[in-house]
Amino acid sequence: MEYTVFGAVGSGSVPIEATLTLIGIPYELVEAVTWVDETARSRVEAVNPLRQVPALAFPSGEIMTESAAILIHLADRYPQARLAPQIGDARRAQYLRWMAYVSSAIYSLFWIKGDPMRIAADKKDAPRVIDRVHDRIAECWRNMDQQIDPGRYILGDELSVLDLYVTVISRFGPWRTRFYKTAPKMAEIVRRVDADPRLRDFWARRFPFKPGWEN
């Protein structure tokens, strides 16, 4: 009886897989590159009718979708891993605030970016739509960066699932080079998480740093 992650290399399932790795929980992986492959979309349909990854099947068979909620759940369910401020901790409100923000203000925009024709009226507008999505994402990172007061990590001196989440989502467009300029406080933090020795093999497998990856 294990967790099953429905995910894909370089996707929003990666922070969840990283969390399970840090907690030390074995899991099965169903690989589904949903944004390029119709067969993959059908493979996840039974667990997520929106045909997106990530989804998490619990050992009990219960299904959970929504990356931020899954991360919050895992960090609460395994408090010994110290991957989130627990209820009663003074940092809890800001933790929940930024988890929801990354999901709703930033990650959700990738639905448009993945296929601009989902909202564009004309194919010739697609590049402009992507540029605008990138501008909005950069603006949202800037807004977050200006309002946080981090230590070694976003919420203080301990790594949390929020750091894993921001580290992975900031690897998507408009890519890291722009993120470093737009969000200088978080730039230092995501580089620290990229370099975390506990995740070295994991990153290599699940979100490899290929030449030029920051651009």
Contact between residue 108 and residue 100 where contact means Cβ atoms under 8 Å apart: no
Single residue of 5, 6, 22, 54 touching ligand GSH by CB under 6 A: 54
Single residue of 103, 160, 167, 170 touching ligand GSH by CB under 6 A: 103
Rg (CA), the chain: 17
Q: In which residue are the tokens 């946080």 written?
A: 148
| 53 scored as a contact of ligand GSH (CB under 6 A) | yes
| 42 scored as a contact of ligand GSH (CB under 6 A) | no
Cα–Cα nearest to 109, from 137, 67, 83, 143: 137
Q: How far apart are CA 171 and CA 137, in angstroms?
A: 12
Nearer to ligand GSH, 100 or 204 (CB): 100
| 67 scored as a contact of ligand GSH (CB under 6 A) | yes
CB of 52 to ligand GSH, least distance (A): 3
Cα–Cα nearest to 102, from 57, 67, 150: 67
State the angle between helix axes of 126-147 and 92-101 in degrees (0 to 180), rounded to the nearest 10.
Answer: 170
| 108 scored as a contact of ligand GSH (CB under 6 A) | yes
Q: Which residue is nearest to ligand GSH (CB)?
A: 52
Question: Using CB under 6 A as the criterion, which residues of the chain lie in contact with ligand GSH when the complex forms?
Answer: 11-12, 34-35, 51-54, 65-68, 103, 107-108, 110-111, 114
